[in-house]
Amino acid sequence: MAATKFGKVAVLYGGHSAERDVSLRSGQAVLAALQAQGVDAHGIDPANVPVTELVQQQFTRAFIVLHGRGGEDGTIQGALNTMGLPYTGSGVLGCALAMDKVRTKQVWQAAGLPVAASVVVRRHETHDWAAILTQLGGKVMVKPAQEGSSIGMSSAATSEELAAAVAQAHNYDHEVLIEAWLSGPEYTVSILGDQALPVIRVQAAHEFYDYAAKYQATTTQYHCPAGLDKARETELQELAQQAFRAVGGRGWGRIDAMCDAAGNFYLLEANMVPGMTSKSLVPMAAKAVGISFEQLVWRILELSEV
């Protein structure tokens, strides 16, 4: 496809979510890569420009690089559907499901896919924290149901820590997911079209792969090859593709997983608009199979649809 065939492309980035800063960096990288290849691409920040401007300014498709709420939860996808504009990535249902960690786990459980044991806590509910810790094995990870980039996440191993972790997570969402702690390595699998890219093993110097480890630390290590033998790598890639399809994923995305102490894979979450910064994992996985950043954004744009 020639660059002119894409028409006038809006690169949507920024927005109002807690991941705005990361989205701005991702969007600027995507915009520069598209423009370098002759695509008539323009940056649009929905925090400053109404989405209806896309029609008025005669854009013909959108490259979504909005992370978090408002961009990764089906909201912008629904608006673009209404306007009849093709866009990158998953549709309304896939994005809405993947943004909600609780519903994602429920779908995966129903599909027979492996997920860690968990408890959902809603704001203002009263719980026996000691009993929950006992039920989930003594140490847990606490997550807001609908945030990305590890925002609002923390671990807990005592009743006091769990109460504080849940209170912190409730600052971001009325539902909080408490998951059994997984002590094995963390992996991520990028999806591009029908292809699962090479697995990356993430090794953070922090207790877990938190926001600082993702975007600020220089000590986080990314291993690609991931250190898995071929059979295990294929197993995880196939699991990631099943997980992506189960929540209605299309175009591109990323599935995160971890192992328990016995080496069993467990799915963590689905990312429908993954990061595209210099530290991001999808470009890293693509590079491992000879796909440059410019080729990657071109391919994602090619996969855009209504």
Active-site residue (options: 149, 150, 154, 304): 149
Structural contact between residues 212 and 224, judged by C-beta atoms closer than 8 angstroms: no
Q: What are phi and psi of 67, to 5 degrees?
A: -90, 145
| Bond before 144 cis per omega within 30 degrees | no
Q: What is the pLDDT of residues 22-43, one digit of tens each?
A: 999 999 999 999 999 999 999 9
53 labeled part of a ligand binding site: no
Residue 213 has pLDDT above 60, yes or no: no
The pairing of strands 118-122 and 140-144 is unpaired
Q: What is the pLDDT of residues 234-259, one digit of tens each?
A: 999 999 999 999 999 999 999 999 99
Q: Is 118 a catalytic residue?
A: no
Residue spans of the domains in the chain: they are 3-88, 97-113+183-302, 118-180
Q: What is the pLDDT of residues 138-178, one digit of tens each?
A: 999 999 988 655 678 899 999 999 999 999 999 988 999 99
Q: What are phi and psi of 143, to 5 degrees?
A: -135, 135
Distance from the Cα of residue 56 to its chain's centroid:
31
The CA-CA-CA angle for residues 49, 52, 56, to 5°, reads: 100
Measured distance CA(142)–CA(152) in Å, rounded: 8
Q: Is 233 a catalytic residue?
A: no
The verdict on domain 3-88 having CATH code 3.40.50.20 is: yes
- Classify domain 97-113+183-302 by CATH number: 3.30.470.20
271 labeled part of a ligand binding site: yes
- Classify domain 118-180 by CATH number: 3.30.1490.20
Spatial CB neighbours of 296, under 8 Å, sequence gap ≥ 6: 33, 192, 282, 283, 286
pTM recorded for the entire structure: 0.91
100 labeled part of a ligand binding site: no
Q: Is 161 a catalytic residue?
A: no
Measured distance CA(103)–CA(294) in Å, rounded: 34
